[in-house]
A = this chain, B = another copy of it.
């Protein structure tokens, strides 16, 4: 699952260029698109090799010419399901990274099945690396070194992912008929019933004061923005420190 597989080369357009033989009826892009359609409609559980093949009008074994195994297919799906990152166009690093993180989270909310794959796979495909590139680019003008930029992006990515998990899992952003708890309120009720105030003092105090009662707010911009600003404030503080130090040396 964590192995960076040969199929990665194909993701980057390094398709073998054969001379002879019948014209291929498939390619990696068509297979991936079919698999994504199934995942969007039925979730990851619906994505079986034979379901994908059926949708393409082909025998299941035909897929193995393009994909080493099913894990390969999942990795390719997780990359190509991601749209291009927002355009940097003239934004400050802070405004851009805010938009970038929000867009990142929105993708995960629209395609929750990505959560199950991305938590396990490093960015190695063209799309996810483009996202990484743009975020690093936005920090280009700052005095941070490469490692610091990288860790900043890691923190933002993690926040987007955890927020999306929470929203999706509690069903707060849930579309009708979707898997997930009926609502954050129900989640709260279940916890309230089960939590022992002795063992979970802070959490149960918060719950009885209504934290989780109104927790559909988790999806709302205000709440997401708060945590995001927390992170960006940290970055800004660091930049200010760095800048000051440079200035001192003059």
Given known pairs A165-B122, A180-B3, A230-B235, the reply for A133 and B223 (CB within 8 Å) is no
The answer to whether B147 and A217 touch across the interface, beta carbons within 8 angstroms, is: yes
Contact across chains for B223 and A233 when beta carbons are under 8 A apart: no
B181 and A2 form a contact (CB under 8 A): yes
Is A227 part of the binding interface, using a Cβ–Cβ cutoff of 8 Å? yes
- Mask: chain A, 135-179; 1 = CB below 8 Å from B; 0 = not: 011001000001111111011011111110110111100000001
Partner of A2, one of B155, B180, B232: B180
Q: Is A194 an interface residue (CB 8 A)?
A: yes
The distance in angstroms between the C-alpha atoms of A133 and B206, with both chains bound, is: 10
Task: Identify the closest chain B residue to A241 (Cβ).
Answer: B233
The verdict on A116 contacting chain B, using a C-beta distance below 8 Å, is yes
A238 touches B227 (CB 8 A): no
Q: Contact partner of A152 among B120, B129, B161, B230, CB < 8 A?
A: B230
A58 touches B (CB below 8 Å): no
Alpha-carbon separation in the docked complex, A43 to B1 (Å)? 10
A119 touches which of B119, B200, B232 (Cβ 8 Å): B119
Q: Does A115 contact B (CB under 8 A)?
A: yes
The reply to whether A190 and B8 contact each other, CB–CB distance below 8 Å, is: yes
Q: A26 contacts the other chain (Cβ, under 8 Å)?
A: no
The interface size of chain A toward B, counting residues with CB under 8 Å, comes to 80
The residue on B at minimum CB distance from A165 is B119
Given A158-B163, A201-B133, A151-B191 contact (CB < 8 Å): no
Smallest beta-carbon distance A13→chain B, Å: 9
Q: A121 at the A/B interface (Cβ < 8 Å)?
A: yes
Given contacts A116-B119, A147-B217, A234-B237, contact A191 B124 (CB under 8 A): yes
Question: Which residues of the other chain, B, contact A149 by a CB distance below 8 angstroms?
Answer: 206
Query: In the complex, what residues of B have CB within 8 A of residue A200's CB?
Result: 129-130, 133
Chain B residue at minimum C-beta to C-beta distance from A116: B120
**Is the beta-carbon distance between B203 and A132 smaller than 8 angstroms?**
yes
Closest 4 A/B residue pairs (Cβ): A119-B119, A158-B158, A158-B162, A234-B234
Would you give 17 A-B contacts (Cβ < 8 Å), ordered by A? A1-B45, A2-B112, A2-B171, A2-B181, A4-B186, A4-B187, A116-B120, A122-B169, A124-B190, A129-B195, A150-B206, A151-B230, A154-B159, A154-B162, A154-B227, A155-B227, A234-B235
